[in-house]
Amino acid sequence: MIPALTGTVWFVGAGPGDPELITVKGRRLLEQAGAVLFAGSLVDQAATRYAPAACLIRDSKDMTLEEMTQWLTEQAHQHQTVVRLQTGDPALYGALIEMTRPLTAAGIAWAVVPGVSSAMASMAAAGESMTLPEVTQSVIFTRVEGRTPMPPGEDLAALAAHHTTLCIFLSITLLHKVEAGLRAAGWPDAAPMLVVHKASWPGEERIVRGTLADIKQRCRDAGIVSQAMVIASPTLGAAGWDQLVRSKLYDPAFTHRFRKAIT
């Protein structure tokens, strides 16, 4: 006889790699978890150190989707708190919906705890900003087509035509396609590029700067072939510019509801 379901499966964003970048809520759930399924190929195992000694911890890197959902279902029959620990944020380039649909069908409660994306961690590591006044106010999260096809209208050239900040996931081995897409959208060879390998991972983070013309060779020379964020943005290098357009919010000549303009 199957016992009554009492547990909740929590999909927790582990963040980009540094165990200290998990949210307070995510850490609390790990501390009270009876079972944890973590993405060992992407999540630093150190993130599981918050789990209690008696917690059942399973690495999912060798499991299929069906095996993972079955494991989560079985653990929800036995534990009040079950954690699926995922890299970055569970809603971004993860199998969240594919996992939650079977849980819902089985009557198992689940919830999501967001996490810090590697896109944010990469810009933080490099000391860069995704947006700047009158340069760009938009950020696009995307990838180039590999074994997973892109939907119509979402090829890189079409998105790059906006000339805004592009955070390109899962594409470090496809830099030739990144280059082709940006060039097709009119980005010059001198356009600045940033690649961050294992952003925030203690002792493993590496930052490569270059241009559209040389970033592939620079990454090749550095031996970066996995777990890297590729960023193209007109904001890159702004810390060294001679002039910047000031943010209106902090401009003394700008009035808002908390402060009158200084004239």
**How confident is the model at residue 258, as a pLDDT?**
74
Which residues are paired to 227 by β-bridges? Answer: none
10-19 pLDDT, tens per residue?
Answer: 999 999 999 9
Kindly state the average pLDDT of the residues 164-180. Answer: 97
**Contact present, 196 and 206 (Cβ < 8 Å):** yes
Whether pLDDT at 1 is above 50: no
The average pLDDT across 173-180 equals 96
For 188, list phi and psi in degrees, rounded to 5: -75, 165
Cβ-contact 56, 82 below 8 angstroms: no
pLDDT tens digits along 223-251: 999 999 999 999 999 999 999 888 877 77
Question: Where residue 5 falls among pLDDT bands split at 50, 70, 90?
Answer: low
Helix (H) or strand (E) holding 193: strand 192-197
What band does 256 get if pLDDT is binned at 50, 70 and 90? confident
Tell me the percentage of the chain whose pLDDT exceeds 70.
97
- CB contact at 8 A, 142 and 133: no
Place of tokens 């280059």: 179
Tell me the whole-structure pTM to 2 decimals.
0.90
- Residue 161 tokens read as 């035509």
- H or E element: which one contains 14? none
CATH fold of the domain at 8-113: Cobalt-precorrin-4 Transmethylase; domain 1 (3.40.1010)
CA-based nearest residue to 16, from 173, 146, 200: 200
CA distance linking residue 116 with residue 160, whole number of Å: 24
Q: At what angle do helices 65-76 and 96-105 cross, to 10 degrees?
A: 50
CATH fold group of domain 118-240: 3.30.950
Which two three-digit tokens encode residue 146? 């590999």
User: Residue 153 — very low, low, confident or very high, per pLDDT cuts 50/70/90?
Assistant: very high
The amino acid that residue 198 corresponds to is K
The domain limits of the chain are 8-113, 118-240
pLDDT, tens only, 195-227: 999 999 999 999 999 999 999 999 999 999 999
The total of other beta-carbon atoms located within 10 Å of residue 106's CB is 14
Output the six-digit token pair for 178: 């990144």
Mean pLDDT of all residues in the chain? 92
The single-letter DSSP state of residue 156 is H
CA angle 195, 137, 15 (to 5 degrees): 45
pLDDT tens digits along 56-93: 999 999 999 999 999 999 999 999 999 999 999 999 99
Of 98-102, 176-180, 255-259, minimum mean pLDDT range:
255-259
Asked if 205 and 197 touch (Cβ cutoff 8 Å), the reply is yes
